[in-house]
Structure 1
Amino acid sequence: MNDFWQQCSTLLEQELPSQQYQTWIKPLSLLEFDIEASTLHIAAPNRFKLDWVKSQFSSRIADLARDFCCKPMVVHFVLDPKVARRANGATMAGSVDSASVQLAAAADLTAQITSLNSTTSETSIGQQKNSAAAGSGWSGSPLTNHESSGAPERSKLNPVLTFENFVTGKANQLARAAAIQVADNPAVSYNPLFLYGGVGLGKTHLIHAIGNQLRQQKVGARIRYIHAEQYVSDVVKAYQRKAFDEFKRYYHSLDLLLIDDIQFFSGKSRTQEEFFYAFEALVANKAQVIITSDTYPKEISGIDDRLISRFDSGLTVAVEPPELEMRVAILLRKAHSEGVDLSEDVAFFVAKHLRSNVRELEGALRKILAYAKFHGREITIELTKEALKDLLTVQNRQISVDNIQKTVADRYGIKIADMYSKKRPADIARARQIAMYLAKELTQKSLPEIGELFGGRDHTTVLHAVRKIADVRSKDALLNRELHVLEQTLKG
């Protein structure tokens, strides 16, 4: 019995991404393995994981059991007997352990990316580090007289937003790795660093984390975090007060400029011109520039081409909506920071139904906590459904597989019927795979259910499509942008 489960686990670990394996397969245990009866019983630690593993992995486990026993085997999933004997309210211990495993897996992968980036540029970084520190603005000298009349006010970094409390997952691991590289080697690794993605995905958190780390490493460093709208306001005030020399002196003398939501520069030609001069001066002085936007640089309307070319000269990284495991980790960590014991079942329930961004997750958690406190009740799935009733209703009617199929078909110029047909021309097959991928990412449908909605295809076909598109997306910037546009269109 142990030989089979060890072999099965090893094969699944090789097939699945690390975070999926750690979250879904590793917590399982084999209770019974009866070759004569052709059955095996696998225990899951909670009801949510039981249902998820059953819908997503039962066929694969059954295939592995058949190969091991040389005959068909029936797989039964049950709730772990120890868990079944407990009361409905789970303790925080299991949740924290599981979240730690998830976060550790993501952290390991991020560390590998960081290590890879460090290795590829180790020589150049080592040669440039000292000269950059000596010959640039990284002298550590404080700003002088920047508070005087007409000069912009200095923005304060939010000290709460650090790398240590940034929850990492597949959706943001590259962005975090790049941010750490920049914090360790300002104006050497990537300049500018441009992070883009939808609202509430952690872009602002990351750039504050960079600023906070640099402030600790280089006391007195001249750092400014500013929202693009505030920068526009600074430009206007400089004109009104006839203080443009001071404005330029201030911005051109920074060591680190963090500018958030640069899409607000759209159509503001004078602001763009001043920012262009500031950007040129900062880069020439070996100062670091970090920019965020809700859109890929070339897709921001109303921005001068020369600015777009400067954005493209550094590193551009997408921050994607968090995947399921990451959403669970975010909820568990946030609840823990609030001193609340949130069961893993509740965290998975919320994460499964709310998919868009971190801000929405944290808002939902606050609503649950307030509802439970007001009613003096324990936080269970039933209470969670009551607390989030309106939000869940909106989410459930937002995106359907049918809508995904129509949107993708329209985007790639194929017929809706091609989504269900057996046709295999490359353009049709690719669009169909993209639609399957989006159905998996944006709806609550299981793989078999998605397959049925795509002309009765087997769930393994859907799984192959999902994995293929996810893999290509991580390597192909063009496809990543296309998927980003489709996701934003579907989410309205």
Structure 2
Amino acid sequence: MSITAQTVWNNCLEFIKDNIQPQAYKTWFEPIQAVKLTDNALSIQVPSKFFYEWLEEHYVKILKVSLTKELGEKAKLVYIIKMENTYGNKQPFTEKIPSANRSAMKSQEVDVPLNNKSPELRNPFVIPGIRNVKIESQLNPNYSFENFLEGDSNRLARSAGLAVASKPGGTSFNPLLIFGGVGLGKTHLAHAIGVDIKDKYPEKTVLYISAEKFTQQYIDSVKKNNRNDFIHFYQIIDVLIIDDVQFLSGKTGTQDVFFHIFNHLHQNGKQVILTSDKAPVDMQDIEQRLLSRFKWGLSAELQTPDFETRVSILKNKLYRDGVDMPDDIIEYVAKNIKSNVRELEGAIISLIAQSSFNKKEITIDLARVIVEKFVKNTKREVSIDYIQKVVSDYFQMDIDTLQSKTRKRHIVQARQLAMFFAKKFTKASLASIGSQIGKRDHATVLHACKTVDNLSSTDKQFKKYVEDITKKLSV
């Protein structure tokens, strides 16, 4: 009875399976197909050149032993590399790959002697010419759960992050999407999850990357005609963290490749963590198929921290820096800087620096000077509270009246204007805006924004309201 390529390969796989980790076997050997057997040469098909290089770099010895057992000392292995030919040399580069070219495939046979050639790995994070196969996590160890203080504004997101870190890929929070305005701690929390996973599961491959860098790597891969290598690199990651995913807006080619990477990771029980400055429902120019996948897991919002949380953040920052500061000064800073954590910590650093450089004692008067300068010189992010105050003052009513359930026309219009400007000047979600302006739902906010747009173009007096309030908020 003549032996077949499949029989030989199946026997090799039995031996390999007993000698490597199950996850490694699933990732690197299950996708391989036996193609043909000629004399002592077994031909196998691998998905890309990246795959072949990885096998040669990491599994050449076990391949040699297993194949020698089956075919003897003269055994040879031939790789048939399935490569994606996205572009011909003369075609101009565009970010979107034409669908006609996307499926064009070619095969390349590589006759490889069974010894380790140490090929250069197609790792987007490796500088060309430097042989380094290790995938660095790109995580910042200074961002930890320990210094990400819990408060009402972040409790859900932080708790979900802890759950994911304890069991990556094994919770219903997959993907975990953390969203919120500037400086509220999205990047910090994303890093903290990654750092905790690396600590608990050192064998897992964790990778943090910004959506902007991911896009640039994808563009480079298309230019160099190794898009498949790019995809396979990301498909071997156990925990993928992508920061500022809203950056993918309008980038059709990058969204397409991320869609396939996301599907592979999710189907194989890998964890995906995303951050964004807005909720999925508010994202523009992101394909619906991607948005629907963002909603598979949990979307957790980071909101502006309340006074107590701001005080805790400052005390923790001072403790870590070994600085002692009176409570009344800490409370003064926390009371006057409300917009985000980054500005809050920046103000306290400025206060410490002024005290140290000028050898001045930290007093309330010094704090007042620093906070006033800091707030004045920092690009202010308009808060929803501030918008409600400006609108209420403009229409000579108090905030409680603005938020009330009354249907009086002038109050309804004031409330709709507050919602309109909250959407225009902040990065809060529609649901968050509605919650803070009279406990309305996101549909009410959406209706308010459309009403303001319509009235601005048909009612001269209403248009003047919009212009006046815009000037007040832009000061």
Could you tell me the TM-score, scaled by structure 2's length?
Answer: 0.58
Q: Residue 178 in 1 paired to residue 160 in 2?
A: yes
> Residue type matched to 1:256 in 2?
V
Q: Residue 336 in 1 paired to residue 328 in 2?
A: no
Displacement of 1:386: 2.0
> Residue type matched to 1:171 in 2?
S
After superposition, give the CA deviation of every residue in 1:379-398 in whole Å (9 maximum; x if it has no partner): 11111122233234468996
Displacement of 1:224: 0.6
Q: 1:423 to 1:245 in 2, by over 3 A?
A: closer
Aligned to 2:297: 314
Q: Where do 4+ consecutive residues of structure 1 move more than 4 Å? A: 134-141, 143-147, 393-403, 405-410, 415-423, 426-437, 468-473, 475-483, 489-492
Aligned to 1:324: 307
Displacement of 1:150: 3.8
Q: Residue 365 in 1 paired to residue 348 in 2?
A: yes
Aligned to 2:368: 385
1:408 and 1:435 in contact (8 A); partners too: no
> Residue type matched to 2:318 in 1?
A
Higher Rg of the two aligned structures: 2
Displacement of 1:221: 0.5
Aligned to 1:299: 282
Aligned to 1:162: 144
Aligned to 2:235: 252
Displacement of 1:259: 0.4
2:329 and 2:363 in contact (8 A); partners too: yes
Higher normalized helix content (fraction of residues): 1
Which residues of structure 2 form unaligned runs of 5+?
Answer: 1-20, 29-50, 59-118, 126-135, 420-433, 449-469
Q: The residue matched to 1:388 in structure 2 has which SS?
A: helix
Q: 1:179 to 1:368 in 2, by over 3 A?
A: same
* Distance in structure 1 (CA, Å) of the matches to 2:441 and 2:206: 34
After superposition, give the CA deviation of every residue in 1:212-257 in whole Å (9 maximum; x if it has no partner): 1111111221111000101001101211222222211110111100
Aligned to 1:286: 269
Q: 1:353 to 1:405 in 2, by over 3 A?
A: closer
Displacement of 1:270: 0.5
1:193 and 1:316 in contact (8 A); partners too: yes
Displacement of 1:207: 1.2
Q: 1:434 to 1:347 in 2, by over 3 A?
A: farther
Displacement of 1:407: 5.0
Give runs of aligned pairs for residues 73-88 of structure 1, distance below 5 A.
Answer: none
* Distance in structure 2 (CA, Å) of the matches to 1:159 and 1:470: 35
Q: The residue matched to 1:263 in structure 2 has which SS?
A: helix
- Identity of paired residues, percent? 34
* Distance in structure 2 (CA, Å) of the matches to 1:355 and 1:482: 29
1:398 and 1:491 in contact (8 A); partners too: yes
Q: The residue matched to 1:182 in structure 2 has which SS?
A: helix
Candidates 224, 241, 244, aligned match of 2:224:
241
Q: The residue matched to 1:196 in structure 2 has which SS?
A: strand
Displacement of 1:155: 4.1
Displacement of 1:469: 5.5
After superposition, give the CA deviation of every residue in 1:292-340 in whole Å (9 maximum; x if it has no partner): 0001112111111111111011111110011111111111111111111
Aligned to 2:124: 152
* Distance in structure 2 (CA, Å) of the matches to 1:149 and 1:378: 56
After superposition, give the CA deviation of every residue in 1:421-442 in whole Å (9 maximum; x if it has no partner): 99834999899899999xxxxx
Q: The residue matched to 2:208 in structure 1 has which SS?
A: strand
Q: 1:402 to 1:166 in 2, by over 3 A?
A: closer
Q: 1:156 to 1:196 in 2, by over 3 A?
A: same
Q: The residue matched to 2:124 in structure 1 has which SS?
A: coil
* Distance in structure 1 (CA, Å) of the matches to 2:445 and 2:323: 37
Q: Residue 404 in 1 paired to residue 413 in 2?
A: no
* Distance in structure 2 (CA, Å) of the matches to 1:482 and 1:201: 28
Q: Relative contact order, CA 8 A, sep 6+: which one is greater? A: 1
Q: Residue 262 in 1 paired to residue 245 in 2?
A: yes
* Distance in structure 1 (CA, Å) of the matches to 2:164 and 2:370: 41
> Residue type matched to 2:296 in 1?
S
Superposition RMSD on alpha carbons, in Å?
4.4
* Distance in structure 1 (CA, Å) of the matches to 2:197 and 2:345: 27
Give runs of aligned pairs for residues 327-476 of structure 1, distance below 5 A.
Answer: 327-393=310-376, 403-404=387-388, 407=391, 424-425=406-407
Candidates 199, 208, 211, aligned match of 1:228:
211
Aligned to 1:464: none
Q: 1:398 to 1:213 in 2, by over 3 A?
A: closer
1:202 and 1:319 in contact (8 A); partners too: yes
How many residue pairs get matched? 322
Q: The residue matched to 1:391 in structure 2 has which SS?
A: helix
* Distance in structure 2 (CA, Å) of the matches to 1:139 and 1:408: 62
Could you tell me the TM-score, scaled by structure 1's length?
Answer: 0.56
* Distance in structure 1 (CA, Å) of the matches to 2:192 and 2:381: 36
1:434 and 1:469 in contact (8 A); partners too: no
After superposition, give the CA deviation of every residue in 1:133-185 in whole Å (9 maximum; x if it has no partner): x98689999x9569945421144211111111211111001110111111112
Give runs of aligned pairs for residues 92-111 of structure 1, distance below 5 A.
Answer: none
* Distance in structure 1 (CA, Å) of the matches to 2:249 and 2:406: 42
Q: 1:392 to 1:471 in 2, by over 3 A?
A: closer
Q: 1:354 to 1:256 in 2, by over 3 A?
A: same
* Distance in structure 2 (CA, Å) of the matches to 1:195 and 1:400: 20
1:138 and 1:221 in contact (8 A); partners too: no
> Residue type matched to 2:343 in 1?
E
After superposition, give the CA deviation of every residue in 1:427-481 in whole Å (9 maximum; x if it has no partner): 99899899999xxxxxxxxxxxxxxxxxxxxxxxxxxxxxx956996x9676899
Q: The residue matched to 2:181 in structure 1 has which SS?
A: coil
Q: The residue matched to 2:373 in structure 1 has which SS?
A: helix
Q: 1:274 to 1:360 in 2, by over 3 A?
A: same
* Distance in structure 1 (CA, Å) of the matches to 2:179 and 2:392: 23
Give runs of aligned pairs for residues 2-151 of structure 1, distance below 5 A.
Answer: 148-151=120-123
Q: 1:386 to 1:409 in 2, by over 3 A?
A: closer
1:137 and 1:254 in contact (8 A); partners too: no
